Amino acid sequence: MRPLTRRQLLALGLAGAGMTAAGGAGLWWSSTWGTFGGAGEDLIQPPVLTARDGALELTLKAAPARLRIGNRTANVQAFNGSLPGPTLRVRPGDTLRVRMVNQLEAPTNLHVHGLHVSPQANGDNPFVSITAGGSFDYEYRIPEDHPAGTYWYHPHHHGHVADQIAAGLYGTILVEDPDPVPVTRERVLVVSDLSLDPDGNLSDVTPMGQIMGREGQIVLVNGQLRPRLVASAGERERWRIVNACPSRFLRLQLEGQTVRLLGRDVGRLPEPMDVTEIELAPGNRADLIVETREGITQLVAAPVDRGSMAGMMGPMTGPLMGEDRPGAEEPVELLTLDVSGDPAAGPLAPIPEWDRLRDLRGDPIAARRTLAFAMGMGGVMVGGGGDSAAMMSFTVNGRTFDPDRLDETVAAGAVEEWTLSNSSPMDHPIHLHVWPMQVVEDGDRDLTEPLWLDVVNVPARSQVKVLVAFDDFRGRTVFHCHILDHEDLGMMGTIEAR
Ligand code: C2O
Ligand code: CU
Ligand code: CU
């Protein structure tokens, strides 16, 4: 008999009841997560909530949840009992109203990652704090000319961001395209990772895990372990992939299939581009077109070397060896695509061109500034004291985050050139709220076409130049490293557009 899915169990009120793992706890401790059973179920789409008559109103309840992950019962945290939370579908011009209810034991709040909306008051305000047991009513007015694309939401309370995302709190926001892309099927694929102890509780992060940026023991797609996707040959699927991992980079490969990149983070490319792999830093999204060919293939996250602490930690590297070079180990299989059977009926219409991507190169630059991201010995006590604690500082322009200090002031409406520099031996994917960034100088990347991202990776000991148009909104918000442990340790600054 096929085991019931997590949602079927939830529907029956049975989630968590008597779900002892068939393999027993012994398996759990083997070093590879591949032995964690229960993989291969059919992919489930998160529930979808769609805006009607210009508005979408919903309640998002962040609460502890007992869910089945693979063949184990896990005590996680989830929005509305679902991991990922519901997918929110809106259109440019819509208003999104979210009552965020905090049933966690820690303060939290909500951030709409990538949306170009006001950061003020009850908009996308990262300074809001919703205490345990409290709630807050957000309202996001999405501009008429908002770029279509795949965005996401997650908590953003400084000091708790990595813990709450690692626990399962995230969901997708789709801003629909005014010219729909003809596809046979669209799928949302939220990739996340987490670590559980043998009792199915979330593992505590180690001090070294925080310094490096934690990578979970198991990698999930829509909360499932290596789910199976079924298609016929000759179909055109659209995959909207979100990297919701707190720190893990995903170098995605799907051998044997024709994969084209439709867009990244913000908007779409003028036309889809053939790709053999695509790298997503934490927080990045990719919209892919997969033209299916008969066969069984895996979507794989190949190892990414995002730097190491070698030479920086001195004597600390000894006992903690092996933890200091994350992401550089083995490829991880994320899902199986099983293409068989009769080719799908009739060819689809071609994908319409997209001509809405701006190019800021050539615009007058009102100001240039450098943001220096650094790590040093000393500073914050990671791990809260005791033997395993480490002293390490995470800074922007020499300072750790202070919500009451204003770090950067920009003129509303201006275009600025920012140099993001990284003096540390690890990569830092840098994210700015509200305003996307156009990458204009980045080592060997081909930048003939405008490249817009809201998370820009700045590799170890290098720098990247971006242009930002501070359009449409005034107010105070933040920029930070999207390795969320680094953000929680202080690698974040405040910015106000006035
Ligand atoms: Cu996805 Cu400030 O974050
Ligand atoms: Cu964000
Ligand atoms: Cu970082």
Is ligand 1 within 6 A of the CB of residue 91? no
User: Is the CB of 431 within 6 Å of ligand 1?
Assistant: yes
When pLDDT is cut at 50, 70 and 90, the band that residue 391 belongs to is confident
pLDDT at 244: 98
Q: By residue range, what is the domain housing residue 489?
A: 360-497
Per residue in 460-496, pLDDT tens? 999 999 999 999 999 999 999 999 999 999 999 999 9
d(CA 61, CA 102) in angstroms, rounded, equals 6
Omega before 403 cis (within 30°)?
no
Ligand 1 touching residue 480 (CB < 6 A):
yes
pLDDT tens for residues 306-341? 998 765 654 444 334 445 455 557 899 999 999 998
394 found inside a domain = yes
* Position 12 pLDDT exceeds 80: no
The answer, yes or no, to whether any atom of ligand 1 lies below 6 A from the CB of 156, is yes
CB distance 283 to ligand 1 below 6 Å = yes
Is 436 among the domain residues? yes
Which residues neighbour 32 within 8 Å (Cβ) at sequence distance 6 or greater?
A: 330
pLDDT value for 310 = 67
How many structural domains is the chain composed of?
A: 1
Segment 68-85 mean pLDDT = 96
Quote the CA–CA distance of 177 and 414 in Å, as a whole number: 27
pTM summary value: 0.91
| DSSP helix/strand/coil, 97 | strand
- Ligand 1 atom at minimum distance from 152 CA: 1
What gap in Å lies between CA 54 and CA 465, rounded to an integer? 37
**How would you classify the pairing of strands 87-90 and 171-175?**
parallel
Chain segment 178-187, per-residue pLDDT in tens = 889 999 999 9
CB atoms within 10 A of CB 137: 11
The verdict on the CB of residue 433 being under 6 Å from ligand 1 is yes
- Tell whether the model's pLDDT for residue 261 goes beyond 90: yes
The model's confidence at residue 445, banded by pLDDT at 50, 70 and 90, is confident
Does a structural domain hold residue 99? no
In a domain, 122, yes or no: no
Residue 160 vs residues 96, 306, 343: alpha-carbon distances, Å: 24, 23, 48
Ligand 1 near 111 CB (within 6 A) = yes
Question: Over the chain, what is the mean pLDDT?
Answer: 89
Contact predicate 236/291, CB 8 Å: yes
Counted residue by residue, the chain has a size of 498
Q: Considering every ligand atom shown, identify the ligand nearest to the alpha carbon of residue 491 and give its number.
A: 3
Element containing residue 493 per DSSP (H, E): strand 492-497
pLDDT the model gives residue 461: 96
Domain CATH for 492: 2.60.40.420
User: Phi then psi for 208, rounded to 5 degrees?
Assistant: -65, -35
**Considering the domain boundaries, does residue 416 fall inside one?**
yes
Closest ligand 1 atom, residue 113 Cα: 1
Residue nearest to atom 1 of ligand 1 (CA): 113
Q: Judge whether residue 345 has pLDDT over 80.
A: no
| 156 within domain boundaries | no
In a domain, 411, yes or no: yes
Residue 408 within a domain: yes
Nearest Cα residue to atom 3 of ligand 1: 113
d(CA 101, CA 134): 6
Distance 260 CA to ligand 1 centre (A): 26
Structure tokens belonging to residue 359: 């190019």
Average confidence (pLDDT) over 198-207: 93
Closest by CA to 472, choosing from 121, 148, 120, 111, is: 120
Non-local (6+) Cβ contacts of 405 within 8 A are: 399, 494
